[in-house]
């Protein structure tokens, strides 16, 4: 059984998707052993509702070192699921190849500092992009610069708004996140 730690900052919909796809067998041979949040959020409630150990570590300059102290040594994968804090390079290097993130755009476009949530979707529209999507990638010390594991695109229509793009991206995240987790864990799917 592979042990997954999930880091959250928000409502935890991608955390819920991970829990559900473990329960239904889509993600194989894995369990979420810990959920860590960097702020009060509904993601912690989701963890409690599923009797998953959960910890709040408030954002701050010591966040990465405090996080390092609570991550179990037998962790196989750390998943950033709507997690907004930047991890220190030392933390990223220690867990190199074992930390993944989902990003609401087609990296390498629209990544980096400040590119999260609605900021990404506004930038995509302002750039008059013909498509957008979601990307699961390895986390490195460079923001959104890690190797792409899986991404999927959709066409942007003239009627799309940041809100409709966000909704379409969320559907793609739900589809590709479990597949990417299986891939990184070495599961066949």
Active site residues: 103
Alpha-carbon distances, residue 147 vs 44, 97, 102, 135 (angstroms): 29, 9, 12, 10
Report how far residue 122's alpha carbon sits from residue 171's, in angstroms, rounded to the nearest whole number: 18
Cα dihedral sign for 130, 134, 138, 140?
A: positive
Alpha-carbon distances, residue 160 vs 114, 124, 180 (angstroms): 22, 11, 27
Nearest CA to 18 among 59, 58, 50? Answer: 50
Share in percent of the chain as helix, strand, coil (round to 5): 35, 25, 40
Q: Are 102 and 13 in contact (CB under 8 A)?
A: no
DSSP state at residue 156: P
Compute the C-alpha angle 180/54/10, nearest 5°: 65
């Amino acid at each position: 059984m592979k042990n997954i730690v999930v880091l959250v900052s928000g409502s935890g919909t991608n955390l819920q998707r991970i829990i559900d796809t473990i329960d239904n067998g889509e993600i194989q041979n894995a369990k979420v052993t810990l959920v860590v949040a960097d702020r009060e959020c509904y993601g912690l409630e989701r963890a409690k509702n599923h009797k998953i150990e959960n910890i709040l570590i408030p954002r701050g300059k010591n966040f990465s070192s405090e996080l390092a102290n609570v991550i179990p040594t037998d962790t196989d994968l750390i998943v950033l699921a709507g997690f907004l804090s930047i991890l220190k390079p030392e933390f990223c290097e220690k867990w190199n190849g074992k930390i993944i993130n989902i990003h609401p755009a087609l990296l390498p476009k629209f990544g980096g500092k400040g590119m999260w949530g609605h900021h990404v979707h506004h930038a995509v529209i302002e750039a008059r992009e013909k498509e957008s999507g979601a990307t699961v990638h390895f986390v490195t010390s460079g923001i959104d610069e890690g190797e792409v594991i899986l991404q999927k695109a959709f066409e942007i229509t003239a009627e799309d708004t940041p809100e409709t793009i966000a909704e379409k991206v969320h559907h793609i995240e739900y589809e590709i996140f479990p597949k990417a987790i299986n891939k990184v864990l070495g599961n066949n799917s």
